[in-house]
Chains A and B, each alone.
Chain A
Amino acid sequence: MNPSATPTRRQLHPPPAPASPFPYNPGSLLSASDLSLDEISHILTRATILENQDPLTRDRILAKRRVALLFYESSTRTRTSFELAAKGLGADTTLVSSLSSSIEKGESLKDTGLTLRALGAEAIILRHNSSGAPWLLESETRLPVLNAGDGMHEHPTQALLDLRTILAHLRPGVETVTAETLAGVTITIVGDILHSRVARSNMLLLPRLGARVLLCGPKELLPELAAEAGPGIAIERNFDAALRQSQAVMMLRIQAERLAGQQLDLEEYKGNYQLTGPRLATQAPTAIVLHPGPIIRGLEVTAGVADGAQSVILEQVRNGVAIRMAVVERALTAPSQQGGRV
C-alpha cells in the first residue's frame, strides 16, 4: 500500500464513451443539437413558405398521414400548435394523454408507442415528464419522434421558434443561418434554469449561430455547472448587469412542480430577478422580451412588461405553429419530397 496522498500521475487511456446511435430515424427531432446549421436553415425557410401557403394546397402535403400526439403532461401552447401544424398540412392527428388512456392502467411508454405504431401512427409527438423519454420511445418504435418537451431536459421546437422570433427582430429577413449569424448578440435567459428544458435547448442552439448566452438566476435555480453545458454559455448573477449586455432576454417561469422540496423566498426572488417596466427601461430599453409561457404575471414578469412594446411573447406563440409545420413535414417526408406533394 502506498500511503501517498497524491498518487503518481500515469497516462491513462480509459475506454471512451461510445458514439450516440441517435437519432435512429432521420425524421426525428429529439434534441436541438441533432440539427445541422443546414437543417436549421431548411426548417426556418420551410416555416415561412408553409406559413404563407394557401391552406387549401398546404393541406395536401401530408394529406391523411397519421400523426399521434402523446402527452404525459398538460400543455396549452405546444399541444395546440403541434396539432394545428399537423392538421394544417392535412395530416390526421390523434391525441393520447396520460389521464384518459391505458397509461393510467400502468401501460409502459414502450407498449404505448408500439400500440400507436400498430394503429398506423407514422410519427409521434411526445411530451413527457421524464427526461430522456423521447430517446426511449424512438429506440423502441424507430418512428420519427418529435420531442415536445421531456422533463427538465429539452424542448427543441421551442428553441427553434425562439430563434425565428429573435431573427425576425435582430436579423430581419435572414433564414439561412451560419455560425456567425448571431455574432455579437447576447441573449440572457433568466430564472429557473435548473428545471428548464427551454433553457437547455436554447443553450445548445443559439451559441451555434454565434450568440452568447448569459444565464441569470439564484444558485438554487442555476448551479455553477450550467456554464459547462456547452460553448458560448456564461453565468451572470446580477440581473441588471446581464440586461445591460443583452439584445434579447428570455424570462422563465419558476417550475413549482419540479422544485422537489426546495424552498425559495419568492419575495427575494422577485426583488432580484423580476423583470419590471422601470428595470427594462433603464437597463435594456431596446431588447426584446421573450417568455416560453405559461407566464405567471407578477412573479417573473410584471403585467406591464408582458403586455408592453418590447414583449414578443405572442409572436413566439405564432411562430410555434410555423416552426412545427416545418418540423412535422420534415418528420414525414424525405428531403427530396419536401414540398413536392402539392
Chain B
Amino acid sequence: MTALVIRGGHLIDPAAGVDGLKDVLVKDGRVAEIAGPGKLKQGNGAAGSDVQVLDATGLTIAPGLVDIHVHLREPGQGYKETIATGTAAAAAGGFTSVAAMPNTKPVNDSPEITRWMQAPERGAVVRVFPIAAATRGSKGEAINDFAALKSAGAVAVSDDGLPILKDGIMRETLAAAARVGLSVIQHAEDTRMTQGGSMNLGPMAFKLGLRGMSAEAESSIVERDIRLVQELRDSRAHLHVAHTSTAAALAAVRQARRNGLRVTCEVAPHHFLLTDEHVGFYNTNAKMCPPLRSAADRDAMIEAILDGVVDAIATDHAPHAVHEKEVEFENAPNGITGLETALGLSLRWLHKEWKLPLGRVLSLLSAQPAALLNLKGRGTLTVGSFADAVIFDPKAEWTYNARATKSKSRNTPFDGWTMQGKVRWTISEGRIAFSDPA
C-alpha cells in the first residue's frame, strides 16, 4: 500500500465545486480522503509513518489536466516522440490523461495497436487513452469495428488529419459510434479546398506568396457534420470538433448547441493566442493544420472560450524532429508541440489577461474534456476518483525554454514566452510523474 498526503494547498476542483484550503490523502492510486487543513482522519503524515507528504503550502491543487488531442507518434515515428517522452512532457505540463490520435505508422485502426499503446512496456508516466481510427487505414472508406476498439480501450474514433469527406461514410461513422457509446472527433477540413495550401488564406498568405487554406474549408465540414448529427439526432450521436480555428465553425457549433445537438468543440492555445501574422517570415514552428487564422478568428476563439461555447482546451501536441522543420515553409510538416505550455499560456492569458476565473480555466483543461470523452474518475478530485492531480504555484511567472523540453521535439512557437503558473508536482494515479520543487 502506498499513501501520499498533499498538505497545505488550495484545492480547486471545479466539477465538485470545491475551492478552498484542503489536505488530500491518496491511497492505492485513488483519492482516499479530503479534509480541511490538518483535519485528515487517516494517514496524516505524522513523523515515522510510511506516508509520503507533499507540502503544498501556497500552491494550488487541481485535478490532473486532460488533453484530448495529442500525437504521441508511436507506433512508427519514435524519432519524433515516443509514448514515454510524450507522456513525460505531458506530466511536466500538468497533464495526467492524454488522448492519442491514431495517425501513427501504421494507423491505429485495430484493437491490437490500441492495446499496444497502453501496454506498460511503452513506459507512459501518465495515462494514455487511444483514439482509434474511424476507418480502415484512415482512408475514409471502410468503417472499423468500434465495439472491438472500445473494448480494447479506445475512447473515441477519428481520422484526424485525414477528415472523412464522404457524407455517407461520416453518417455511418456517427451512427456506428453512437451505438457503442463512442464520440466521433472530426478534424474539419475539406481537403479538396486546401490543396497546396500551407497557411491561412488571407492578406498575409498573399504577401508571403503562399497558397492559402480558406476558413470555409473548415466551416463547411463542420456544417455538414452538424447536418448529419441533426439527421441522426435520435441515435444520440456525439460529434466533437477538433481544434476549432474559425469564427464560422464556432458559429455553427453555437447554433447546433442551441438546437440541442450533441456537438462539442475544443480550441488549441495557439488558436486563441496567435494569428497568421505570427508566421512572420516563414517560421515553420508557426505552421500547423488548421493554420493560424486572422485576428478576427483568433478573437472569436477568445470570446467563445470566455462565454462558454468552447468545451475544452486541447493542445494538438504534434512533435516533429528539428530537421523536418528546418526546410522551406511549404515543405515543412504541420504541427507544434503544446503539452508543456498549455497551462502556462492559459493562466497567463485566459486567467490573468482576460480574467477568466481560475476554476473555469482548470475546468476547460480537466473536468470538461474528461466528461466529453467519458473518462470516468478523471478530471475531478473527489473521494474514490483517480489520484490524478497537478500541484502548481499559480503566482509564479517563468520563461519557457524549448531546449529543456521533456518531449523529443521542440517545434514550438512559444519558446521564450512568459508563462504563468509553475507546475511543482504532477501526480498520476498516486505516483509522482513529475516534480520540480524549486
Contacts and interface: CB of A to CB of B under 8 A. Distances in A.
B312 to A, nearest CB: 14
Given A132-B329, A136-B326, A140-B326, A151 B309 contact: no
B207 A135 contact: no
Contact of A223 (B206, B254, B304): B206
Contacts of B274: 15, 17
A125 to B, nearest CB: 17
Interface in B292-320: 295, 298-300, 302-304, 306-309
Contacts of B309: 1-2
Interface string B404-423: 00000000000001000000
**Chain B contact surface mostly:** helix
A213 to B, nearest CB: 14
A12 B299 contact: yes
A136 B326 CA distance: 8
A340 interface: no
Contact of B328 (A1, A4, A18, A136): A136
B195 interface: yes
A86 interface: no
B251 A2 contact: no
A208 interface: no
Interface centre among B196, B282, B298 (most CB of A within 10 A): B282
A200 B207 contact: yes
A230 B207 CA distance: 9
A7 B349 CA distance: 19
A1 B257 contact: yes
A22 B208 CA distance: 14
B354 interface: yes
B201 to A, nearest CB: 8
A13 to B, nearest CB: 7
A145 B211 CA distance: 24
B208 A260 contact: no
Nearest to B280: A20
Interface in B310-367: 323, 326-331, 349, 353-354
A14 B254 contact: no
Contact of A12 (B257, B302, B326): B302
Interface size class of A (residues with CB under 8 A): 35 or more
Nearest to B251: A5
Interface string A1-35: 11111011010111101101010000000100000
Contacts of A17: 274-275, 277-278, 280
B282 A3 contact: no
Nearest to A7: B303
Interface size class of B (residues with CB under 8 A): 35 or more
A22 B283 CA distance: 12
A197 to B, nearest CB: 6
Contacts of B281: 20, 22, 30, 132, 135
Contacts of A1: 257, 307-309
Interface string B263-283: 000000000011101101110
A152 B282 contact: no
Given A20-B281, A152-B209, A229-B207, A15 B273 contact: yes
A8 B209 contact: no
Nearest to A193: B206
Nearest to B279: A17
A18 B278 contact: yes
A128 interface: yes
A46 B433 CA distance: 65
Contacts of A10: 302-303, 306, 354
B258 interface: yes
Contacts of B208: 131-132, 153
A3 B258 contact: yes
Nearest to A194: B206
B202 interface: yes
A229 B282 contact: no
Given A131-B210, A200-B207, A14 B278 contact: no
Nearest to B284: A136
Interface string A34-67: 0000000000000000000000000000000000
A268 B209 CA distance: 26
Nearest to B330: A130
A130 B209 CA distance: 9
Interface in A226-256: 226, 228-230
Contacts of A109: 327-328
Interface in A187-236: 194, 197, 200, 223, 225-226, 228-230
Contacts of A133: 328
Contacts of B349: 14-15
A154 interface: yes
B168 interface: no
A92 to B, nearest CB: 28
Contacts of B278: 17-18
Interface centre among B203, B302, B417 (most CB of A within 10 A): B203
Interface centre among B202, B257, B308, B327 (most CB of A within 10 A): B327
A17 B208 CA distance: 15
B329 A228 contact: no
Interface in A108-134: 108-110, 128, 130-133
A193 B209 CA distance: 10
A300 interface: no
Contacts of A136: 282, 326-329
A14 B298 contact: yes
A13 B353 contact: yes
Contacts of A226: 206
12 contacts: A1-B308, A14-B349, A17-B275, A108-B326, A130-B329, A130-B330, A133-B328, A135-B281, A136-B326, A153-B208, A153-B209, A261-B195
* Nearest 7 interchain pairs by C-beta: A153-B209, A132-B282, A152-B209, A130-B328, A131-B209, A17-B277, A228-B203
